[in-house]
Amino acid sequence: MTIKYQSHILACVLAAGVFSGCSKNPVTGKNEIIFMSPEKEKALGAESHPSVVASMGLYDDKNLTAFINEKGKAMGKISHRPDVNYQFFIVDSPVVNAFAVPGGYVYFTRGIMAHFNNEAEFAGVLGHEIGHIAARHSASQQTKQVFTQGVLLAGSVLSPTFRSVSEQASQGLGLLLLKYGRDHETQSDELGVEYSSKIGYDANEMADFFGTLKRISEKSGQTIPTFQSTHPDPGNRQVKVKQLATSYQSSHQAKYDVNRDVYLRRIEGLIYGVDPKQGFVEGGQFYHPGLKFQFPVPSDWQTENTPAQFQMASKDGKAMMLFTIAEGKTLDEAAQTIIKNYGLQVSENNKTTINGNPAIAMIAKQVAQGQTAAAANAAQIASWLIQYNGSIYVIHGVAASTDFGANLNKFKSVAQGFKSLTDASKLNREPDRIRIKTAQNDGTLRDALKSANMPDSKLEDLAILNGMALTDKVTKGMLFKTLGK
């Protein structure tokens, strides 16, 4: 026994006494100090799942959901943690994303399902997410954060200011917002290749999907230098995963499937992009056909809409607004609940009406523990509670005290613009859906899309959606994606 090994054991013994002890990583076989037990992982997953469903909603497609569960269960059995009860869901979001939480919960957005072009691409990402669970990355990441920060912090979608008024999020949901390190992402890429290959899919397609992700990032202007990102650059990952796939297949000779046509037929009719019934932004207004209301959105503000709430923020991050349903049967009860939940110190509280709807307007400060209300960085909040169609809605405008005055009139204009939606063209808006077409002639993707009457304004998006360039060759009889109602 070497001194180095004895020191490692001593570290584990000390950790066991103070924290939870050393645990063998199922993937690497190495001992690691992990504070979270497998039982706690399972409990956190079960705890966070309702929060995910409430905030994002589940997409209702029984056949597609059955497909991802069939493949997911098969992959779980050959993973490094076959004892985990893996569960798989499609969430109702247009964002191109997939994520996993402790305890075996794996989620795919309908946005990413729309962008896959074969079963092998899906299987690669599926393996990546199962890899995070199998390698216990959430537990490891939490442990690292406890070491470096002393607490597990939930992130914020929009701005640091909003974080100060969103601490009611559960720890389980907070784990969703942790960014895995580059090492974790790289290891999960390796596991994605291994796991998808083991259930019979060509992992080269996983590499190609990273090319699609890179194009999506570039088009949205979200590219960042690799050294500044916790995630490896999609282009770099494409090259690395291609190398891993080639290496795996050279040492494991077998027939590896792609299954392009069968996958494309599976996603026929899948909603693409924003689903209007859940609300949409157009012409400087947010419209919600299902709940029949509208309100203005400040120009050049970034927005994010989920089934649970609508958020928007200035690009400089100095001001944000949040719209959601308030808790309470009356306006007064809802106001008191907000004051209590957010720990607000209210300076103004007035009853009013907004376009004929009973309302309460409040101005308050939320002060971090140990600070005074005069603290320069205290969050200042303007809130409007509005009783409309049997529900009570709340609009919060939030900024640091130093920026609040400059944004108050903007907050007011949004809240006072809340009104009933009566425009039939907005109320009856239908979503775009994936429509699978068959090429009638040899040519390019551009030719095929034009023959399907796709507008020029959508050609580049459709090229990305198809995982192709507009100049790529299309042969007669080949399936391709278009959009329709």
User: In the 3-class helix/strand/coil scheme, how is 308-356 assigned residue by residue?
Assistant: CEEEEECCCCCEEEEEEECCCCCHHHHHHHHHHHHCEEEEEEEEEEECC
Give a yes or no: residue 7 inside a domain. Answer: no
DSSP helix/strand/coil, 28: coil
Identify the band that residue 48 occupies on the pLDDT scale cut at 50, 70 and 90.
confident
Q: Is the pLDDT of residue 273 over 70?
A: yes
Q: How far apart are CA 188 and CA 362, in angstroms?
A: 48
Cβ distance 17 to 23 under 8 Å? Answer: no
Q: How far apart are CA 474 and CA 439, in angstroms?
A: 7
**Looking at residue 139, what is its pLDDT?**
54
Q: What is the mean pLDDT of residues 408-418?
A: 97
Alpha-carbon separation of residue 88 from 91, 139, 210, 274 (angstroms): 10, 20, 22, 22
* 243 and 350 part of one domain: no
In the chain, % of residues over pLDDT 90: 63
Give a yes or no: residue 396 inside a domain. Answer: yes
Cβ distance 162 to 319 under 8 Å? Answer: no
Please state the φ and ψ torsions of residue 451, each to the nearest 5 degrees.
-70, -20
The least confident of 126-130, 201-205, 364-368, 434-438 is 364-368
* 101 and 68 part of one domain: yes
For 86-125, the pLDDT digits (tens) are 999 999 999 899 988 888 999 999 999 999 999 999 999 9
Q: Is the pLDDT of residue 3 over 70?
A: no
Q: What is the mean pLDDT of residues 67-89?
A: 96
**Looking at residue 414, what is its pLDDT?**
98
The least confident of 29-38, 72-81, 319-328 is 29-38
**Looking at residue 232, what is its pLDDT?**
55
For the residues of 55-92, what is the DSSP string, one character each?
HH-B---HHHHHHHHHHHHHHHHHSS-TTS--EEEEES
**Looking at residue 181, what is its pLDDT?**
62
Q: How far apart are CA 52 and CA 108, in angstroms?
A: 12
**Looking at residue 185, what is its pLDDT?**
81
Evaluate if pTM is beyond 0.85. Answer: no
* 420 and 448 part of one domain: no
* 364 and 224 part of one domain: no
**Residue among 104, 101, 106, 135 at smallest CA distance from 122:** 106
* 234 and 305 part of one domain: no
* 313 and 221 part of one domain: no
- Domain total of the chain: 3
**Looking at residue 331, what is its pLDDT?**
97
* 211 and 316 part of one domain: no
Give a yes or no: residue 10 inside a domain. Answer: no
* 324 and 238 part of one domain: no
Tell me the torsion sign for CA atoms 479, 481, 482, 483. positive
Please state the φ and ψ torsions of residue 205, each to the nearest 5 degrees.
-70, -30
Identify the band that residue 313 occupies on the pLDDT scale cut at 50, 70 and 90.
very high
**Looking at residue 6, what is its pLDDT?**
33
Q: Is the pLDDT of residue 272 over 70?
A: yes
Residues in the chain: 485
The last residue of one of the domains, among 222, 238, 266, is 266
Give a yes or no: residue 167 inside a domain. Answer: yes
**Average pLDDT over the chain, rounded to whole?**
82
Give a yes or no: residue 2 inside a domain. Answer: no
Token digits of residue 188: 């999960």
Place of tokens 């808006």: 429
Q: Is the pLDDT of residue 225 over 50?
A: no
**Looking at residue 27, what is its pLDDT?**
58
Alpha-carbon separation of residue 91 from 57, 98, 183, 348 (angstroms): 6, 9, 27, 40
Q: What is the mean pLDDT of residues 4-16?
A: 32
- Crossing angle of helices 182-198/137-149, nearest 10°? 170
Write out the residue range of the structural domain in which residue 404 sits: 285-427
Q: What is the CATH number of the domain that holds 358?
A: 3.40.1000.10
Greater confidence (247 vs 224) lies with: 247
Give a yes or no: residue 23 inside a domain. Answer: no
Q: How far apart are CA 392 and CA 330, in angstroms?
A: 8
**Looking at residue 370, what is its pLDDT?**
54
DSSP helix/strand/coil, 195: helix
Q: Is the pLDDT of residue 25 over 90?
A: no
In the chain, % of residues over pLDDT 70: 78
Q: What is the mean pLDDT of residues 219-230?
A: 46
Q: How far apart are CA 422 and CA 108, in angstroms?
A: 34
For the residues of 422-458, what is the DSSP string, one character each?
--HHHHTPPPEEEEEEE-SSSEEHHHHHHHTT--GGG
Q: Is the pLDDT of residue 258 over 80?
A: yes
According to DSSP, residue 276 is labeled G
Identify the band that residue 129 occupies on the pLDDT scale cut at 50, 70 and 90.
very high
**Looking at residue 257, what is its pLDDT?**
98
List the beta bridge partners of residue 322.
311, 396
The least confident of 148-162, 348-362, 432-446, 469-483 is 148-162
* 223 and 302 part of one domain: no
Q: Which residues contact 320 (CB under 8 A, 6 or more apart)?
A: 158, 159, 161, 162, 311, 312, 313, 314, 397, 398, 399
Q: How far apart are CA 416 and CA 16, in angstroms?
A: 57
Give a yes or no: residue 280 inside a domain. Answer: no
Label the pairing between strands 473-474 and 479-484: unpaired
Give a yes or no: residue 458 inside a domain. Answer: yes
* 453 and 416 part of one domain: no
Cβ–Cβ contacts within 10 Å for residue 457, how many? Answer: 7
For 55-68, the pLDDT digits (tens) are 888 999 999 999 99
Cβ distance 179 to 76 under 8 Å? Answer: no
* 72 and 184 part of one domain: yes
**Looking at residue 184, what is its pLDDT?**
76
**Looking at residue 366, what is its pLDDT?**
85
Tell me the torsion sign for CA atoms 28, 76, 57, 170. negative
Q: How far apart are CA 209 and CA 213, in angstroms?
A: 6
The last residue of one of the domains, among 427, 448, 463, is 427
The last residue of one of the domains, among 385, 400, 427, is 427
**Looking at residue 55, what is its pLDDT?**
82
DSSP helix/strand/coil, 107: strand
Q: Is the pLDDT of residue 431 over 60?
A: yes
* 417 and 445 part of one domain: no
DSSP helix/strand/coil, 421: coil
